[in-house]
Structure 1
Amino acid sequence: MERGAHEVSRLGRDGPGDPVPAEEDHTPRALGVTVLKAASSDEAEDVVGRIYLPNQVRTLERGPVGMSLTALRVGRTTVGQLEYGRHVRLLTDEATHVHVNTPLTGTVVSRTGRSELLTTTNRSAAVFAPGAPAQIEWSTDAAQLCVMVPQATLQNELEELMGQACKQPLRLPFHMSLSTPQGRVWRSMMNLIAGELSAKGPLLTHLAAGRQVERTLIDTLLLGHAHNHAEELNRPAAPALPNTIARAVDLLHEHPEEPWSSTTLARAVHVSLRSLQSGFARHLGRPPMAYLRELRLARIREDLELATAGTTTVESVAYSWGMLHMGRFAAAYREAFGELPSQTLKQPPG
């Protein structure tokens, strides 16, 4: 079965129990985790068409398909854990976005154009560029974390990181090694996302947190994978001027609860990411996000000292200041103040 782009797009928006759109509709949004299952090739084609792009599924061994897809839209990016439960070959239409498939279990053979790539857990991932169909052969035990990002989103983020317009379009190689230091960072990111998908955790489903996760994911891809602008990204940058750093500090103090990232802060003060980081290191002795974390912790402590345990929770105060990972927050709070946030809250006011 092969579906046209119009029909797949319609299913992506209107299919029952499926809020995650396909390639044709990539408006920024935050949506809940969607779990979809299929017991036949036709059903599997339908599900993947709703979330990603038109495709055909060919079974290479006897028995029913046991496809499972847990997916989520984070901003403009779609992430999903996909497995078929059978040895199958997936044939896709030409993609219009960038797709990155990272094996979690099993082995996968991917082909696009004249290139073929065997990917396995902790060894390599496949990066599919727009404009070409693909063939992907899944072993029976294969599960992949499939990320879909619009090409324009990657291009815009690349220019933000570089601090200038790109003269050439971004070109990402097919093979991504997961054994390099940069590749291991991508692998860790995929493990985090897979865990959050399984637990439906707040890092993905919380609107503000999801925006930060999307930016981190895209930056990890651009900084960790070889591409035609990698050398430009890695060039040393001149430190930002002190008045620029002062403006950045003012923004953090005025709105510490905002979902800041180093990239968005650099954009707000009109410098490149490298210049901002160099300026913070030179003038403040720590990275922008470390400075923001210290600021948030201080604001949280002030609120907890004035709050009453019976009417306030640590989680609500932490969330209000943009601290979304409770385990890391509690550890950072204890390191900064020598006690847990719950101990601060239990103390009587005044």
Structure 2
Amino acid sequence: MQGEPINSGPATVAAAGWSSRDRGEAIAMLSGILAPHDLELREPRGAVHARLAHVTLESCNFADIRYGAPVRIRSRVPSDRCLIHAVTEGRSRIAARAGDICLQPGMIHVSAPGAPIDIEHGPASRHLTASLSMDAWSAIAGWSHDAALPVFNASSAPAWRDLASFVLGWAQLGGSGFGTAAERLDGLVRAFLTDSLALGADAARARAVQPWYVMRARQVMLDAVRQGCDPIGLADVARAIGVSMRTLQQGFRTAAARTFGEELRELRLCELDRQLAAARPDDDVTAIMQSCGITSMGRFAGYYRDRFGLLPSQRLRSRQGH
């Protein structure tokens, strides 16, 4: 094992750089920082060359991890935390509920509290991994197994990686002042994750996550669309998830740049397209549109054409031709 702690402060603050060619040492170190790990070498005669930089703030741990060999990591996220994996180099594979995901540089994956972790790292893989307490991220604190996980959009993902790199770099250069700065860094992370801080000139970069109530509202709306409900009202959806109509409407405007009505229309259009894609030769357009709660056939046919480039009837005919 090589390397010395770069800095140390109060009990809740630590920063260190470390490397090892010993599998057992790598397991012990990573288990202490993120979650209990099992590390399996994917090449029988291979050897790890693990390199790690990490920093512990008050509510989150950041780790810059490289294994230097093809390895498989199996673990489980602690029930009171979540993990954010941001890939900066190489390729990795992570097992998810929807199937295996190939992670490439620029991609981010969120593992929910209590979720199993199964990741295969290539020899060149490098991850910036953050372990967050539940109260650091309102979207996770309000998350349930019936709702979608929060996601990073295309503009906010780079900002998250920049923030993780900044936190790690500051810790390594902070010297005796790091303990004082740690609280501010922790606050910066919390602000980013709760969508209350604009990073850089483009405020959209700060919208790293969808508020939990927007995600829940979208699921309630989608369930109603799939049941063929019409109308679906803002007041009913807000009541179902326990927020005010104003909060929900503002949430859609901020997180999706749409009104409630525009979001509902988008959900209907996407559900219509999904059903058309799965249609049988003896299905008809009117019945499919009605099953999505669409009553204004002509108007929604125009919306569909604007959204997907052809009319629903043309989409169905193209499907039936396969």
TM-score after normalising by structure 2: 0.53
Q: Which has the larger radius of gyration?
A: 2
Q: Are positions 1:154 and 2:126 aligned together?
A: no
Shift of 1:182: 2.2
Show structure 2 runs of 5+ residues with no match: 196-207, 217-249, 251-322
Q: 8 Å contact 1:85–1:142 — kept in the other structure?
A: yes
Q: 2:23 aligns with which of 18, 41, 57?
A: 41
**Amino acid in structure 1 at the alignment position of 2:184:** Q
Gapped runs of 5+ residues in structure 1?
1-15, 21-27, 160-165, 233-273, 275-350
> Are 2:87 and 1:108 aligned?
no
Q: Do the aligned residues in 2 keep the contact of 1:113 with 1:134 (CA within 8 Å)?
A: no
Structure 1 residues 33-42 or 141-150, which shifts more? 33-42
Residue identity matched to 2:182:
G
Looking at structure 2, the residues matched to 105 and 52 of structure 1 have their Cα atoms a distance apart, in angstroms, of: 20
Structure-2 separation of matches of 1:186 and 1:230: 21
Aligned to 2:222: none
Contact 1:99 / 1:128 at 8 angstroms: preserved in 2?
yes
Residue 184 of structure 1 pairs with residue 158 of structure 2: yes
Closer, same or farther in 2 for the Cα pair 1:141/1:17, shift >3 Å? same
Q: Contact (CA 8 Å) 1:58, 1:89: kept in 2 or not?
A: yes
Query: 1:98 aligns to what?
Result: 82
Aligned residue for 1:207, secondary structure, equals: helix
TM-score (normalised: structure 1) = 0.49
**CA offsets, 1:145-173, max 9 Å, x none?**
11111113323x999xxxxxx69799662
Query: 1:185, 1:220 within 8 Å by CA — same for their partners in 2?
Result: no
Within the candidate set 145, 168, 179, 1:207 is matched to 179
How far apart are 1:71 and its partner, in Å?
Answer: 1.2
8 Å contact from structure 2 (residues 112, 140) kept in 1: no
Q: Percent identity?
A: 15
Task: Tell me: CA distance 1:203–1:137, structure 2 relative to 1, closer, same or farther (3 Å).
Answer: farther
Paired AA for residue 163 in structure 2? M
Deviation at residue 36 of structure 1 after TM alignment? 2.7
User: How far does residue 30 in structure 1 lie from its aligned partner after superposition?
Assistant: 4.4
How far 1:220 moved relative to its partner?
2.0
Question: Any conservation in 2 of the 1:145–1:194 contact (CA below 8 Å)?
Answer: no
User: Conserved in 1, the CA contact under 8 Å of 2:40 and 2:72?
Assistant: yes
Cα distance 1:50–1:99, how it changes in 2: closer, same or farther (>3 A)? same
The one of 53, 75, 90 equivalent to 2:58 is 75
Tell me, in whole angstroms, the C-alpha distance in 2 between the residues paired with 1:63 and 1:158: 38
- What is the match of residue 109 of structure 2? 126
Call closer, same or farther: CA 1:19–1:204 in 2, change over 3 Å.
closer
The CA distance in 1 between the partners of 2:146 and 2:183, in whole Å, is 22
Q: Do the aligned partners of residues 168 and 140 (structure 1) sit closer, same or farther apart at CA in structure 2, a change above 3 Å counting? A: closer
Q: Distance in 2 between matches of 1:204 and 1:170?
A: 45
Deviations 1:2-58 (A, max 9, x none): xxxxxxxxxxxxxx97799xxxxxxx9542322232323322211111111111111
Distance 1:50 1:35 in 2: 14
Residue 37 of structure 2, aligned match among 13, 31, 55: 55
